[in-house]
């Protein structure tokens, strides 16, 4: 089993939920406390030992590149950029990285999901990957009213890990095979790229990574890790606010001041 050295961070989406700010600023550069939200996943990848990060951007999002160009001395991984010219979905964004990834297993981190824990979410996945040696995805339990916003897995228990035998992207609640939703961290075999190159559009008319994984399980093992950590969906304004508040309370340099302020307004 080879070490995971490369990670893809898809960041070419339009960010319409943050309109009008996204007329001028990519949503991934909106701040959580004092840094761009995308930096949390870049830092998580570096902490997990990733050596090369491939950020998928569009021509309109060059400022993401400028942001990291000024940070390179503090980022242990090298960062490459791949352009997604049409917004055809997450699966398509990953397919755009085929050449940059080559024939090795790779990680994917979705920057809309900030996961805060002592041990980074990708590190948690890599620990299981080093045991099972095949593709691994992160899941957490999802409340019924949010099931239709996630990729949902059909799990079986194999020893103490969850084996995935099926997946559905954004199912209706009555079609959901469990309440385990995918939370934006993946370690994938290169076969996923092959499948993505042949797949049709799925939910929302997009090329869905979840649909490729649903095909993968018929020929290769896929495991799910119920990861620890507080998760924030920073892809929408209230999630970004929650992340800012909680992370400001968790950080030593901001906690005291911020606790006092919250106490004074509640
Ligand atoms: C994407 C994936 C979905 C996953 C989710 C996690 O959906 O397609 O399977 O559960 O991220 O955040 P999106 O939120 O981009 O619609």
pLDDT tens, 154-185? 999 876 789 999 999 999 999 999 999 999 99
Q: How far is the CA of 263 from the centre of ligand 1 (A)?
A: 35
- Residue partners of 153: CB distance under 8 A and separation at least 6: 137, 139, 162, 164, 166, 167, 177, 178, 180, 181, 182, 224
And the tokens for 198? 């042949």
147 alpha carbon – ligand 1 mean position (Å):
11
Q: State how far the Cα of 191 lies from the Cα of 217, in Å rounded to an integer.
A: 11
Whole-number Å distance between alpha carbons of 62 and 175: 40
In a mutational test of the pocket of ligand 1, which residue from 150, 199, 208 has the highest number of ligand atoms less than 8 Å from its CB? 150
What does the pLDDT read at residue 231?
97
Could you identify the residue written with the tokens 């490459």?
Answer: 80
pTM of the model: 0.97
CA of 185 to the centre of ligand 1 (A): 10
For residue 203, pLDDT over 90 is answered with no
Q: What is the structure's pLDDT at 2?
A: 84
pLDDT of residue 214: 98
Helix axes 252-265, 237-250, angle to 10 degrees: 120
What are the residue ranges spanned by the domains of the chain?
Answer: 6-249
Quote the pLDDT of residue 66: 96
CA distances from 83 to 55, 71, 193 (A): 9, 21, 17
Strand partners, 78: 52
Closest atom of ligand 1 to CA, residue 112: 12
Q: Which of 170, 182, 201, 234 to mutate to test the pocket of ligand 1 (most atoms within 8 A of CB)?
A: 182
Q: Please determine, for residue 265, whether its predicted confidence score (pLDDT) is greater than 80.
A: yes
Report the percentage of the chain scoring pLDDT > 90: 92
Atom of ligand 1 nearest to the CA of 113: 12
pLDDT of res. 110 = 98
Say if ligand 1 is within 6 A of residue 184 CB: yes
Cα separation, 259 vs 265, in Å, equals: 10
Answer with the residue of higher pLDDT: 75 or 142: 142
With 90 as the cut, is the pLDDT of residue 221 above it? Answer: yes
Atom from ligand 1 closest to the CA of residue 235: 14
Query: How much is the average pLDDT of 90-110?
Result: 98
Per-residue pLDDT at 122 exceeds 80: yes
Q: What is the mean pLDDT of the chain?
A: 95
Fold of the domain spanning 6-249:
Spore Coat Polysaccharide Biosynthesis Protein SpsA; Chain A (3.90.550)
Per-residue pLDDT tens digits for 106-119: 999 999 999 999 99
Q: Report the atom number in ligand 1 closest to the C-alpha of 13.
A: 15
pLDDT value at position 142? Answer: 96
Over residues 229-257, the pLDDT tens digits come to 999 999 999 999 999 999 999 999 999 99
Question: Rounded distance, CA 143 to CA 220, Å?
Answer: 29
| C-beta of 114 in contact with ligand 1 (< 6 A) | no
Q: Categorize the per-residue pLDDT at 82 as very low, low, confident or very high, splitting at 50, 70 and 90.
A: very high
CA distance 105 to 94: 13
3-state DSSP assignment of residue 112: coil
Strand partners, 80: 54
């Amino acid at each position: 089993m080879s070490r995971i050295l490369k990670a893809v961070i898809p960041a070419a989406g339009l960010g319409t939920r943050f309109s009008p700010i996204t007329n001028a600023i990519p949503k991934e550069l909106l701040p959580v406390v004092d840094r761009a939200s995308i930096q949390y996943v870049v830092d998580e990848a570096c902490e997990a030992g990733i050596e090369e990060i491939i950020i998928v951007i569009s021509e309109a999002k060059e400022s993401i590149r400028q942001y990291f160009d000024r940070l390179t001395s503090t980022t242990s991984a090298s960062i490459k950029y791949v352009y997604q010219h049409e917004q055809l979905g997450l699966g398509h964004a990953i397919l755009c990285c085929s050449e940059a990834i080559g024939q090795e297993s790779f990680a994917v981190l979705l920057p809309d999901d900030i996961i805060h824990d002592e041990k980074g979410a990708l590190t948690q996945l890599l620990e299981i990957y080093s045991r099972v040696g095949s593709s691994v995805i992160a899941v957490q339990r999802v409340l019924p009213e949010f099931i239709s916003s996630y990729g949902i897995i059909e799990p079986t228990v194999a020893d103490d890990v969850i084996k995935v035998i099926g997946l559905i992207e954004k199912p209706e609640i009555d079609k959901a095979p469990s309440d385990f939703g995918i939370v934006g961290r993946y370690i994938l075999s290169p076969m996923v790229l092959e499948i993505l190159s042949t797949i049709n559009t799925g939910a929302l008319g997009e090329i869905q990574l979840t649909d490729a994984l649903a095909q993968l399980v018929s020929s290769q093992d896929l495991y799910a890790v119920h990861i620890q950590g507080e998760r924030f969906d920073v892809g929408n304004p209230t999630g970004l606010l929650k992340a800012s508040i909680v992370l400001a309370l968790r950080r030593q340099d901001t906690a005291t001041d911020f606790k006092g302020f919250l106490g004074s307004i509640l």
